Every structure is written in structure tokens, then in C-alpha cells.
């Protein structure tokens, strides 16, 4: 038994193991009938989930509750995120095979048959309590899996409303409601860990602690890493366009996304121009004293102060005592920095409309500085480059150890898929071995498929020794 606080702040006892076991039992029962669905029927289930959040009025209501209960982000951007991610994900899933035979390679005699991974436990963050569950559910259900969402405590009410919307759509099409479930309130670490231990497959999007729990729970998992996006602006960049992109990325949903620009490294030759262009976009460059006040308002004993996390810029200005009129009316804040690491908190992820600005004498120094920042935090996740220099694009592609490198794009839009790039839509992005993750790509429906490969006999293909070692012998002898 686990003692927890209910919504009335009363202590109650909950049998965590039995609660989760019953949910998993229902999920597996639902999967038994779901397993026999045709591709067309499965795609209808995915469409139902998408429509449940995209339907006029639904994204708005979910955004309203999420902002009210979590205090994170901006209403308008949350609505945009829910609708845009849903539309893009449904586009990515449309026409993809995930039931029965999905590929035949006659030359190799291999037939691939898709099957579910099982009951999926999806731990989702308070920053996206509506969009992330819907996004992952679409992918998991595409593979005929059942999914149980473990929301953050503050995001539970949003996820619960999403559950209602999805079950209403399931009822229309006759799909089993228990294919999509939400852990009951109050959600805590104990019940979330129990869910991970009983599920067949785990995915975690959110804090480093939750990701660590997911990756060590003993179950197959696709957990994603932390972001700390750095964008380089080289001397060839279109300054005005670049400033606009960085503004859009930095301010979207008050920087709740792991893909927003946290730092920008600017070549010295265009540094002053770039700062001026960012100021035209509403950025306010803090002086040394204002930077000190901002740091004190954002971190208390080394921990992020929730009063300044993902809040509107005027709220941050008030908390930091920035009494300059321009600061109070700013769209985002800029702080100059030279150092990297724990002693320089602005060099890490901030979840705030605060952009850290570095100056580099040339592109080579910009690369070194970017690597240093990412090695401190956000390794493997992503970075950006604003340039018109093809050689720089090639160099950074070879040298930067990130799973996503966006060229001349709005980072917060593009990392998780955009209509103007080839990355699939998602709210969960892996950092590969660099970030300590099992996956390096964007989470997709393919991560929720088991594949049986049926191998048939084909004509033998036996190489000669000369074919395999000929060049080696010619160079070094036998």
C-alpha cells in the first residue's frame, strides 16, 4: 500500500500494484480484439485520436486547462502546438503499413510482418500534458498496441480531458476504450514506476530523472534526452531572417520545448548587427547588473525557480526587478556569457524566454564553443546553423555530434518535424548514445512495432576469396 494525497489534500492508501495490474489487464484484453483489426481499421483508430484533439474547441480547452493547472507556457502557442503536431503526425502515418506484411524483399527472400510491442507505458511532461499523450498514442496505436499514460501531477487534469475526448471518438467507431488509459489521480513516482515495471514497452519524455527511471526500469524502452539547443550564426548569414527565426524559436510557448534556442554563438564579424536585429525582434540585452538579478530570480540554490519557468517575459522582468521600461515590454531577454558549466547557469537549458549570447572570433571558435556547451548539457540532441556557406554546413555536419542539425530553420518548429523539412513530426526526440538514449531519431510509429522476418531459401551467393581480400593482398601481400 502507498500513502498519497488526494485532491482534497487528504492522506489515503492506494494499492499501487493492484491498480496498475487491473489497468494492464484491461489494456491486454483490448489488444486481443485490436490485434485482428485490418490496416484500414487501425488507421481509423489513429484518425479518431487525431480528431479528438484537433476537433474545433478541443485543442483550445486542453490548452486552457494545461495553462491554468501547470502555469507553463502560452495559451495561443499551446493551441497551435496541439493542432500542428497532430496534423503533421497524421500526415506522416497516413498510408504507412503497420499491420501484417509490410515489406517483401524478393532478392533476399525476406518477408517482414509487423506485430505489436504490447502494452506501452508513456510518461509525459507537464510542459505538454495534452499534445504529447495524443502524439505518442497515435504512434503506438498505429502498431496495434494499447497505451497507458503517466502524466505529471499538474498535467493530470489535461490528460484526463484528453482521455474523455478520445473515448468519445472510440465509441463512434466501436474501438475498445481501454486501448487508451490514464493513470488515476493522484499520480506519483510510486505508481509511475509500477506502471513501467508492468508494461511491455516504455517511453519517457520529460525530466532527466524520469528518463533515467525509464531507461533503468528493466523493460525495452525508447526514452529521449534533454535538449540545450545552440545555434551558430556565421558571418555569411542573412541577419534579419536569422533574427526572426531565433525570436520565433525562443519565444514559442514561453520556451517550454526542449528544442527552443537556449544559446546563440555569433561570429564577431556580424555580432553587433545580429544583436541589433534581435533587439528589433523584441529582445532586451541585459547589462551586468540586470544579468545578476535575472540569475538570482531564475535559480535558487542551484535549482530553477518555478516562478520564472516558462512564464511571460513581463512576469520574469517583475521577478528579477528589471525596472527598465524596455525590459518590461520585451519579448525575450538576452544575456552575454563567456563561460560554460555549472558555474555559468545561463549556459544550460533554462525553460525561459532568456537567450544566452556568445561571441566567437570566427567559425572555428564558434564550433569549439558550441561543442563545449553541448558537452555540458544537451549532448546529442540538436543544434542549428544559420549560414549561406556550404563549406560550413558540410563541416558542422561531420564534426558536431548531434542527432539533429537544422540549417536556416526555426529550431523549435523543425526539430520535431516541420512541413518544410523531412523530419517526422513528434514531441519526443532521442539523443543517441551521445545523450545516453537507445534512439537517436525522432520517435515514430516504427518504435512501437515488433517485426517477424520470414526467411526463404534463395540461390546461394558465395563470394570468392579474391573478391573479399584481393585489394588487401595487392596492398599488403598475403
Q: In whole angstroms, give the CA distance from residue 243 to residue 305.
A: 28
CB 181 within 8 A of CB 27: yes
Q: How many Cβ atoms are within 10 Å of 477's Cβ, its own excluded?
A: 6
Q: How many Cβ atoms are within 10 Å of 451's Cβ, its own excluded?
A: 11
Q: Which pairing describes strands 180-182 and 201-204: parallel, antiparallel, or unpaired?
A: unpaired
Q: In whole angstroms, give the CA distance from residue 303 to residue 345.
A: 10
CB 367 within 8 A of CB 356: no
Q: In whole angstroms, give the CA distance from residue 111 to residue 39.
A: 17
First and final CA of the chain: distance in angstroms? 70
- What is residue 129's DSSP assignment? T
Specify burial of residue 395 (Cβ count, 10 A radius: 0-12, 13-18, 19+). Answer: middle
Long-range contacts of 244-247 (CB under 8 A, 24+ apart): 244/281, 245/386, 245/408, 245/409, 245/410, 245/411, 246/278, 246/281, 246/355, 246/386, 246/411, 247/278, 247/281, 247/282, 247/283, 247/331, 247/332
Output phi, psi for 200, to 5 deg. -90, -25
Q: In whole angstroms, give the CA distance from residue 149 to residue 430.
A: 19
Q: In whole angstroms, give the CA distance from residue 143 to residue 149.
A: 16
- Residue 115: its H or E element: strand 110-116
Q: In whole angstroms, give the CA distance from residue 55 to residue 275.
A: 41
- Which residues form the catalytic set? 258
Amino acid at each position: 500500500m502507498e500513502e498519497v494525497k488526494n485532491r482534497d489534500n487528504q492522506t489515503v492508501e492506494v494499492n499501487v500494484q493492484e491498480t496498475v495490474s487491473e489497468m494492464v489487464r484491461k489494456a491486454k484484453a483490448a489488444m486481443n480484439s485490436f490485434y485482428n483489426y485490418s490496416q484500414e481499421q487501425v488507421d481509423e483508430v489513429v484518425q479518431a485520436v487525431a480528431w479528438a484533439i484537433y476537433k474545433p474547441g478541443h485543442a483550445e480547452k486542453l490548452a486552457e486547462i494545461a495553462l491554468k493547472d501547470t502555469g507553463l507556457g502560452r495559451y495561443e502557442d499551446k493551441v497551435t502546438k496541439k493542432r500542428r503536431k497532430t496534423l503533421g503526425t497524421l500526415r506522416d502515418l497516413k498510408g504507412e503499413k503497420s499491420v501484417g506484411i509490410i515489406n517483401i524483399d524478393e532478392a533476399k527472400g525476406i518477408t517482414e510482418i509487423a506485430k505489436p510491442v504490447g502494452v506501452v507505458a508513456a510518461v509525459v511532461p507537464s510542459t505538454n500534458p495534452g499534445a504529447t499523450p495524443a502524439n505518442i498514442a497515435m504512434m503506438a496505436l498505429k502498431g496495434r498496441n494499447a497505451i497507458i499514460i503517466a502524466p505529471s501531477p499538474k498535467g493530470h487534469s489535461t490528460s484526463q480531458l484528453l482521455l474523455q475526448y478520445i473515448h468519445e471518438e472510440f465509441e463512434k467507431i466501436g474501438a475498445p476504450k481501454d486501448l487508451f488509459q490514464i493513470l488515476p489521480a493522484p499520480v506519483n513516482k510510486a505508481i509511475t514506476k509500477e506502471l513501467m515495471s508492468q508494461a511491455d514497452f516504455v517511453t519517457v519524455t520529460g525530466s532527466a530523472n524520469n528518463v533515467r527511471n525509464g531507461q533503468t526500469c528493466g523493460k525495452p524502452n525508447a526514452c529521449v534526452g534533454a535538449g540545450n539547443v545552440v545555434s551558430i550564426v556565421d558571418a555569411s548569414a542573412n541577419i534579419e531572417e536569422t533574427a526572426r527565426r531565433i525570436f520565433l524559436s525562443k519565444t514559442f510557448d514561453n520556451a517550454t520545448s526542449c528544442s527552443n534556442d537556449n544559446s546563440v554563438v555569433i561570429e564577431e564579424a556580424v555580432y553587433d548587427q545580429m544583436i541589433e536585429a534581435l533587439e528589433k525582434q523584441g529582445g532586451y540585452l541585459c547589462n551586468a547588473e540586470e544579468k545578476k538579478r535575472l540569475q538570482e530570480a531564475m535559480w535558487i540554490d542551484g535549482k530553477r525557480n518555478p516562478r520564472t519557468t516558462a512564464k511571460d517575459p513581463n512576469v520574469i522582468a517583475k521577478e528579477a526587478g528589471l525596472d527598465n521600461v524596455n525590459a518590461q515590454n520585451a519579448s525575450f531577454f538576452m544575456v552575454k556569457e563567456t563561460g560554460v558549466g555549472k558555474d555559468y547557469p545561463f549556459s544550460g537549458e533554462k525553460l525561459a524566454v532568456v537567450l544566452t549570447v556568445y561571441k566567437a572570433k570566427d567559425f572555428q571558435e564558434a564550433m569549439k564553443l558550441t561543442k563545449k556547451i553541448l558537452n555540458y548539457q544537451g549532448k546529442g540532441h540538436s543544434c542549428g546553423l544559420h549560414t549561406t556557406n556550404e563549406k560550413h554546413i558540410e563541416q558542422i555536419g561531420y564534426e558536431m555530434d548531434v542527432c539533429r542539425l537544422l540549417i536556416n530553420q526555426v529550431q523549435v518548429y523543425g526539430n520535431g518535424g516541420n512541413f518544410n523539412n523531412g523530419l517526422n513530426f513528434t514531441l519526443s526526440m532521442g539523443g543517441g548514445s551521445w545523450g545516453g538514449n537507445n534512439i537517436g531519431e525522432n520517435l515514430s510509429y516504427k518504435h512501437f512495432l515488433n517485426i517477424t522476418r520470414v526467411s526463404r531459401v534463395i540461390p546461394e551467393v558465395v563470394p570468392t576469396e579474391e573478391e573479399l581480400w584481393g585489394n588487401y593482398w595487392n596492398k599488403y601481400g598475403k
